[in-house]
Amino acid sequence: MNILDKITIDKRKEVALRKSLIPVSQLEKSVLFERQTVSLANNLRNSKSGIIAEHKRRSPSKSVINNSLNVQDVAKGYQDAGVCGMSVLTDGKYFGGSLDDLLTARASCNLPLLRKEFIIDEYQMLEAKAYGADVILLIAAILSRDEIKQFSEFAKSLKLDVLLEVHNEEELHKSVMPSLDMLGVNNRNLKTFNVSLETSKNLSKLIPNDFVKVSESGISSIEAIKELQPFGYQGFLIGENFMKTDNPGASATTFIKTLEQ
């Protein structure tokens, strides 16, 4: 069983518990539920850099990345750096995140926020909306075509942008549908954890131009972005690169300035 299967099994238990504790009606009463969302896809289309910067404390592949920073400082720093959006990991067991991180980020910046989560239930999208997210992530590897359709259409009804993540051609073919805004290619092989930008390059020509193309994982240099831009990528999700420094905002600022020169 690979790590994704393990996470998904745990996630089903976790979501069942959360649903039993907090009813949908309570989520819908949240102050943030009525908030006007901001489109990450539009930001990426109109940006020179296309950076989506992440808040991530740890990961199964790297263990601890940075436990000492507070979300508020990271969110403010990213906004000052001029990123297009911020990704907030909300999985607790494997990534050390929480929905409270999303709430704190929302209170600290005006960026479009992506709830980075393993979504297996519509309930998690209602949570995302109630805690201030603008975008949700759907992972093709853990969902059927019907689920992708159901979840993406539900997200659109909540005025949330949808980023769908694929790892290979097979996942891409089952996923392309009008209710998505962005198609993300994850360069990390989830079975081996090896990272290769060739994944993004090879899949780029199969992604219709109606979608914003986003490359994820293993993007730690300006060169990597310059290498991927000719393949039509407008979004670049950067997780560990900024987070492993003492000041992710300053690190993102330098990165974006250099990239836009």
Please choose, from the candidates 188, 13, 191, 194, the residue with its C-alpha nearest in 3D space to the C-alpha of residue 93. Answer: 13
Please choose, from the candidates 159, 201, 149, the residue with its C-alpha nearest in 3D space to the C-alpha of residue 179. Answer: 149
C-alpha gyration radius of the chain = 17
217 is catalytic: yes
The one catalytic residue in 43, 87, 152, 186 is 186
216 is catalytic: yes
The one catalytic residue in 39, 117, 152, 165 is 165
241 is catalytic: no
What's the gap between Cα 74 and its chain centre?
16
223 is catalytic: no
The one catalytic residue in 54, 117, 171, 240 is 54
The one catalytic residue in 11, 56, 129, 213 is 56
127 is catalytic: no
The one catalytic residue in 108, 187, 217, 241 is 217
Q: Which residue has the tokens 């590897």?
A: 141
SS3 251: helix
The one catalytic residue in 216, 240, 241, 251 is 216
Residues 248, 252, 257, CA angle at the centre, nearest 5°? 155
DSSP class of 141: G
The one catalytic residue in 49, 66, 87, 116 is 116
Active site positions, annotated: 54, 56, 116, 165, 186, 216-217
